[in-house]
Structure 1
């Protein structure tokens, strides 16, 4: 499966030679009787550096469908807004979702844990998923938000209108807002995390004093090459629109784009390619140094959502408490663990496939066991290996859902990991 590289680059791809028109976006007669369609994920008049759109040349226009009717599947996907009825200042942590069994696909396997804002106002929704069967004759169109998909267990094949993305745990995929896609599982049940972004599309953070290199590099983001299927059978198109799910049926595959060009594309990124940067003298840098992608807000430097990872890396700081320090933050932090052990929670309880939430200004940091170990360690160069944790960080409070609070996975003893600290002894 081939890919094109470079985040936000203008790409061009055709699955059939001659399908992509030269020099004109919407010729009077596209080749082979194809139909030209523009897919825009920003306003037409957005600045050129921010403008995202792609031209698709497809076998049938997407207008060829009947009425959408309410869809009653996906029972644990939050439909409405986040009203705060289950919001608490308490620090929260969850056990992993049990792996799905039976006839559960990606849509029906989505479980909402929390979020803020709305499709109209910006914000995010955070979902976990576990599924056992491929979608096949189903397609999903999320008109509310861009989707950042983080697999934790099992490989995914994400079939989009612009082509296919194969991702495994350790990789992520971004599906633009409004693009149709389906998810297949080549090797059985899967589990992972999703950030649904209602705000500005994810982009690379500015590097400032770091300079021109470091963190995630644009060339490592891979867009698919054109691929299509010509299937004439009933397909269900399920659309998420203003917090509700709707469904219509069409008599052909929606993945019939033969050629395309533009910069509003799905993409994948291998997190192992992240160029981790840290101190080589003393003190622990802010976690923002691990930002892969950001969805900016109207307030400079204050993100609608940051996607941050804690990957394998060398630690060399001298005379320094090396794990993440104790912290109270204006931002709200939802964490997940893909594999291994997080270096601030070596005392157990934070498991791969699990999650935690630390909302605004609620103190958090390493557990007592990790703290004692870090304060007593003989410092020398050491490498943190075999781990991958991540964080969805938002400027607004993340409101938990009823499932998150009452679904049976919330750990009742999370606060206990911060007990047993000895009182500091001052000189008399």
Structure 2
């Protein structure tokens, strides 16, 4: 017999606050986190996303009250990696070339979210807590009697196609293209889908994502804390075998519970999954001239030990007004100390006239020259600079301080565009004298 219970509203709003939610009245204790006899015969568990001694304003932890101890399972055994890879990303040699891929094909066979994971590259060291992994997925069915969690890092998931449902230990998160979902390190979940789903993943091994400082922008702008949504408590009471797959040390491992481990009846704390609707992003831009750096589009950042240089930034390019005078409005030609993995959710990207399709991706590693293709450059230089709104588009970047080393799969897949460099051909030489 299975039961699933929840109390309205479906979400709590805010970011990095303390939340309390219960799916059965009285599940949460009053005054003590771990009472001698928890209510309703539940079991107490604390899940910590930071060290116990992390400063209070950085400390992440939640207290869970569940039907059974989550420790109640047998040993983990190796699980088939499929196309998923992890640090040290050494199955292919470092490659400085610019790369672009067509969309990841949708599967023709029955494939769930775990089976549909594919790694494009990454950097850093999962054991040292630095760097990222960059993955995509394409699936066409729900995970059945199977859950997943990542012990190596948190997952920032960017849906690109289809309605997603992330059923987690701490509640249910529904998402569609235009949303992002962050699932903390160690939190178990399954992904449900009624049809094809596809999207991108940044696996963050560094400091947890947080809102960026606003500096001279002031107190308002970019992503507002009130727009981040955290699910309310929801639980399953299911007594049948459930496979649990975890990513640990760069590898996949599996064990089987005798029950669904998604059985948290109530919880309180600040360590939980959350979603954000990118349509709510308050875009900042120039109202005079010149093109601001793309850092003004940062939604979330994972800081590093170097101030101002992120382990990873999550940046979006949403609909926005362009009003700058005497200015080349699309992204300019540039070389950057950061490495950029880019994806397109829908629409067209204003710096590429073709070849960059929704569901596709590109990679420009540190100090590789890139920018608009010839057609986009020519159109922008000849444009009548009236106020113009870029609409019906959403692109994003995972930007990281270390080079992204691509996997052998990413360099050999038929979706690799071997002619990508050609988009910068055809520029005339400037005239001097």
Which interval holds the TM-score relative to the shorter structure? Answer: over 0.9
Q: Does 1:332 align with 2:346?
A: no
TM-score, normalised via structure 2 length: 0.97
Measured after TM superposition, the shift of residue 89 of structure 1 is 1.2
Q: Report the equivalent of 2:398.
A: 392
- Residue 140 (structure 1) aligns with: 148
Q: Measure how far apart 1:91 and its partner are.
A: 0.5
State yes or no: 1:281 paired with 2:288: yes
Cα distance between partner residues in 2 of 1:360 and 1:279: 26
Cα drift, residue 408 of structure 1: 1.3
User: Could you tell me how far 1:84 is from its partner in structure 2?
Assistant: 6.9
Q: In structure 1, what is the Cα distance between the partners aligned to 2:321 and 2:356?
A: 22
**Does structure 2 retain, via aligned residues, the 8 Å contact 1:220–1:270?**
yes
**1:6 maps to which residue?**
14
Deviation at 1:409, TM superposition (A): 1.1
SS at match of 1:228: strand
Runs (4 or more) in structure 1 with deviation over 4 Å come to none
- 1:119 maps to which residue? 126
Give how far 1:101 is off. Answer: 2.6
Following TM superposition, by how much is the alpha carbon of 1:80 offset from its aligned partner in structure 2, in angstroms?
4.9
Counterpart in the other structure of 2:6 = none
Segments of 5+ residues of structure 2 without an aligned counterpart are 1-8
Q: How much does 1:141 deviate?
A: 1.3
Look up the match of 2:161: 153
Q: Tell me how far apart the structure 1 counterparts of residues 76 and 332 of structure 2 sit (CA, whole Å).
A: 50
Q: Which residue of 1 aligns with 2:432?
A: 426
Q: Is residue 414 of structure 1 aligned with residue 420 of structure 2?
A: yes
**Aligned counterpart for 1:255 among listed residues 262, 270, 290:** 262
Could you say what secondary structure the match of 1:148 adopts? strand
Query: Which residue, 14, 18, 26 being the options, matches 1:18?
Result: 26
- The answer for the alignment partner of 2:3 in structure 1 is none
- Partners of 1:352 and 1:39 lie apart in 2 by 37
Alignment of 1:345 with 2:349, yes or no, is no
Tell me the TM-score normalized by structure 1: 0.98
Alpha-carbon displacement from aligned partner over 1:22-58 (angstroms, at most 9, x marks no partner): 1110011110100110000100000001000000000
- 2:246 match: secondary structure: strand
Cα distance, 1:87 vs structure 2: 2.2
1:381 paired residue number: 387
- The answer for unaligned runs of 5 or more in structure 1 is none
Other-structure match for 1:69? 77
1:223 is aligned to 230
Q: Distance in 2 between matches of 1:67 and 1:231?
A: 21
1:32 aligns with 2:7: no
What secondary structure does 2:255 align onto? strand
Compared CA separation, residues 322 and 80, structure 1 to 2 (3 A): closer
| Worse overlay, 79-88 or 135-144 | 79-88
Residues 1:50 and 1:406: Cα distance change in structure 2 (over 3 Å): same
1:275-330 deviation digits (Å, cap 9, x = unpaired): 00000000000000000000000000000000000000000000000000100000
**1:420 aligns to what SS in structure 2?**
coil
Q: Indicate if the aligned counterparts of 2:91 and 2:408 stay in contact, CA closer than 8 A.
A: no
Q: Deviation per CA, 1:1-36, whole angstroms, max 9, x where unpaired?
A: 610011111110000011111111001111010011
In structure 2, distance between residues paired with 1:86 and 1:339:
32
Corresponding residue for 2:375? 369
CA distance in 1, matches of 2:309, 2:91: 22
> Are residues 1:292 and 2:299 paired?
yes
SS of the residue corresponding to residue 421 of structure 2 reads helix
Q: How has the CA–CA distance of structure 1 residues 79 and 286 changed in structure 2, closer, same or farther, with 3 Å as cutoff?
A: closer
Deviation at 1:79, TM superposition (A): 4.5
